[in-house]
Structure 1
């Protein structure tokens, strides 16, 4: 642009055209050096952004954008960390319940191997414990995949009494007597 301006001035004032040649000869190397430095600085800035180093923004808009990007990255990092922690808790629960089921089955197997006849109470207790943990595992699966939920209104006291009746053998084996004081309340929940 400067060369075109100089050429126009030379034409208007009828100056020798050698001035244009000298201008190009002496200003072109400076221009090339300046362009190389600008490209190198832009490349370094882009690398720092890629490595997520702090870039000193030149204006308030860029500062706000950098701040928003940093906040969003931190929020995303915390969310991923929370989801990993939750997933690990679920895996730990699944391991625990599957271990309890294996224990119940191992007790049955050991009783069957050591005695010619296993009492029905012992079989019922161990089968009931395995069934109890299978139901919990089923509930954990439902918690992981919410698409299988069958929500309906249930009477809480009836549901609690049903669960206690189902676990009666366990209460007897552990010599526990549950005491319940629930007023009749309707709750929206899945039967499991």
Structure 2
């Protein structure tokens, strides 16, 4: 089983958004995910067109599909959302592979470790379905930074990170550390 998980793992830095995660895969993997999601896509379409169509479908159907997941898959998905550190996998783990084939979970190989990522769009949907999955204020902070990344990067390029964190902490209910802010900008 570990070989199957690694064969779907992406040898790149982890991505946060669903389309970016899908685009990191090979076209053949995208076609397999489309088949698993019961989406008709043409092989002649570009990888980008397939990824965008898949992302729209996965996001649109996630609420309904989540209810059809096995209990261990739901638990696995919730656990992956809760923890962000790199994890090692055993041969007995089947649920990460099934979640990956459905397009809900992505594995990135970085610095000899496999890191799992549930895209932000699916994390937000998962929080709406089951609010016990993650601290909602943490998600909103991460979501705000990801939605306003260009504007924040423009400000960040013209002022120091410490100044940006100070301004954020003056206007936000949840304070942000310099290290957390650096994580949002660098990824």
Please indicate, yes or no, whether the TM-score normalized by the shorter chain is above 0.5.
no
TM-score normalized by the length of structure 1 = 0.22
Structure with bigger gyration radius: 1
Higher helix proportion: 1
TM-score normalized by the length of structure 2 = 0.23
